[in-house]
Structure 1
């Protein structure tokens, strides 16, 4: 079978790579062409476009890059038509993928979605488009199945692929880790996860780094995103007294005492590594004003959304200040809040189900193709 997979960011590249591996186990003759990154390519996909060319975030940033986005849409349609896959598989990245899905369905291609767009967060009316354009949806968050069922669309819950990704992580001793990266052997580590796109990383690090002088007995280490160059981080952290580790977020979380995390998939990854965290987010003023009017959720972090209560503190926009950061980080290092958070993390893992999300999704996709 021929599979065309579209992922538009680093997390999609990770989950897409595991899906490709699982598809190749199910289908020894699988041919995969994809939009993604180095991980999907290493898993055996032929890369049509790298996600580094697609990293536009926020309403203003999208508007400023409309020309490039339109060109990418045209190229994608042409590339799919030339490859003529048995199925087009979309991974998250809804703004782009739902446009391609509409065309692909009309053109006669089978369409599957793995990792649902966050229609439960805003513009739930998009469910009607999904029902029209997507033949099968495989969701990874436990509340999504009920959300879609209430709107007349049956989806399949396969569990969360992060559990698989983390289970595959090779453990390193703290001694080896600190020696490899030139870290202080005694000081506890505070991990900084400022995002994966240049605009957000620059904005978030400015606030996060303000805490460094206030925690002299700790060492702050930045988790570098695979989509960004080391020089970009070095320019932002001159004389800041922090370390930068490129593309080794899981290893860093495996040895961190606490973390400051920009909202997104990283909040869930941090929780699954049992690292107490403060969730932070600050957007362009106009992007934030638009977002707060269309997003209907109580929380922005996946941890709180899944648990349906405040497990981790969220410092958003005007609440993202040095004093608030200092107070909340101190609580999860020294206070009883640390133990409460770890207890909630254990319950969170139970809600997400066991391992095998990618394998389950691949099995469903391949079986449906064989039966058609």
Structure 2
């Protein structure tokens, strides 16, 4: 059974805000190679802004942790059925999947049965946990395109067809422009994440941290950055009315990060965004107790944030679970306001930017995929 059509559209699948952003960049570069190319799939507002026909909203799988996924399982099963019907009807020439392995591995199985070639861009972080799943990619994915410098060697150990294109953030972030922006010594940016679970668990702790800091530093100002797809009303639920804050829209987040002295942030892509922009960040993360218990048994990397993983040392302090509380975050933030360790962290970020590589990563990834798609 072969539903792949060499003249059909390209299907891009993204399941979270960062994937939506990278999917939009990839769609733009694919159309630079073929201006008439039809692109459809699953994603969010960034992909829609690039005229991608988003058939399925990424909000349907915006979940965190193993235990949270169980609660949404019926919805996910229905969504997989809808995607299969879409693929059978539209007969894409290729499918490009971005991260989200727990969901997208199931899409890979569907595509394999339908005879549609699959490319995995923004390779899943299997080097962090459940490394054996790399064999599944080797057996079912035509080509893997990785974005972190150490990933190619990891996947090559599994005899995969893998290429390193560089990190797409180097194309997304206007670094030359941002480098000219002066910092505000009394401003702290807050980025509580793009998922409901992240916001509900971390934003109250960030707000309490802000309240604590204001006691000794009444001139501080705070910028609360809204992630794409996160409603302002949701953020307002967890931010007290008596603490002044500037709400920053998603399109202005890079300027807000650059203007800040430092950032309080949920672990995720934003940690690397902060590092490349040159703004130190205090990283926090919380999961359900069961998710943490399972994770501590199977995760095999020393850090959770990308800057620390890339440099193989702690640049940004990581605060997980009970450490991600206002008391601990306040202590770290006050030390940075007093310049303890803050200058050292800033000095490390220039080296990290060089390590990530040159711009043009998304164009390289698009060319790798486009030139590899079977033509008949």
The two structures share one fold, judged by TM-score above 0.5: yes
Cα distance in structure 2, aligned partners of 1:186 and 1:89: 41
For the Cα contact (< 8 Å) 2:166–2:358, is it kept in 1?
Answer: yes
Gaps of 5+ in 1: 176-184
CA contact 1:121–1:297 (8 Å) conserved in 2: yes
Query: TM-score, normalised to structure 2's length?
Result: 0.92
SS in structure 2 of the partner of residue 201 of structure 1: helix
Shift, 1:99, TM fit: 0.8
Matches of 1:172 and 1:308, distance apart in 2: 25
Deviates more, 1:129-138 or 1:58-67: 58-67
Describe how 1:97-176 pairs up with structure 2 within 5 A: 97-167=104-174
Structure 2: runs of 5 or more not aligned:
1-6
Cα pair 1:277 1:329 within 8 Å, conserved: no
Within 1, Cα distance between the matches of 2:130 and 2:331? 35
2:95 corresponds to: 88
In 1, the alpha carbon distance for the partners of 2:363 and 2:124 equals: 20
Q: SS where residue 262 of structure 2 aligns?
A: strand
**How much has 1:323 moved relative to structure 2?**
2.8
- 1:280-316 CA-partner distances (Å, limit 9, x unpaired): 1111112211221221111010110111111111111
Determine the C-alpha separation between the residues in 1 that align with 2:158 and 2:333.
40
Q: Give me the whole-angstrom Cα distance separating, in 1, the residues matched to 2:133 and 2:350.
A: 33
Aligned length: 363
Q: Distance in 2 between matches of 1:35 and 1:357?
A: 22
State how far apart, in whole Å, the 1-side matches of 2:94 and 2:181 are: 44
Q: Which residue of 2 aligns with 1:212?
A: 210
Residue 3 (structure 2) aligns with: none
Q: Deviations over 1:87-132 (max 9, x none)?
A: 0000111111111112212321111011101111110010110001
Is contact 2:80–2:107 with CA below 8 Å preserved after alignment?
A: yes
1:264 aligned to which of 242, 263, 268: 268
Candidates 237, 243, 246, aligned match of 1:243: 246
Distance 1:371 1:354, change over 3 A: farther
| Matched residue, 1:188 | 186
Task: State the 1:50 CA deviation.
Answer: 1.5
* Greater alpha carbon shift after TM alignment, 47-56 vs 256-265: 47-56
2:206 is the counterpart of 1:199 = no
Equivalent residue number for residue 296 of structure 1: 300
Report the Cα distance in structure 1 between the residues aligned to 2:315 and 2:240, rounded to whole angstroms: 34
Q: Check conservation: 2:45, 2:229, Cα contact below 8 A.
A: no
Equivalent residue in structure 2 for 1:279, among 276, 283, 294? 283
TM-score, normalised to structure 1, is 0.93
Deviation at 1:351, TM superposition (A): 1.2
**Cα pair distance change 1:169/1:198, threshold 3 Å:** farther
Within the candidate set 245, 252, 258, 1:254 is matched to 258
Distance 1:168 1:76 in 2: 37
What's the counterpart of residue 60 of structure 1? 67
Q: 1:322 to 1:296 in 2, by over 3 A?
A: same
Once residues 360 and 40 of structure 1 are traced to their aligned partners in structure 2, the CA distance between those partners, rounded to angstroms, is 19
1:310-325 map, 5 Å? 310-325=314-329
Name the structure 2 match of 1:332: 336
What are the Cα deviations for residues 207-226 of structure 1, in whole angstroms up to 9, with x where unaligned? Answer: 11112232322112211112
Task: Tell me which moved more, 19-28 or 340-349.
Answer: 340-349
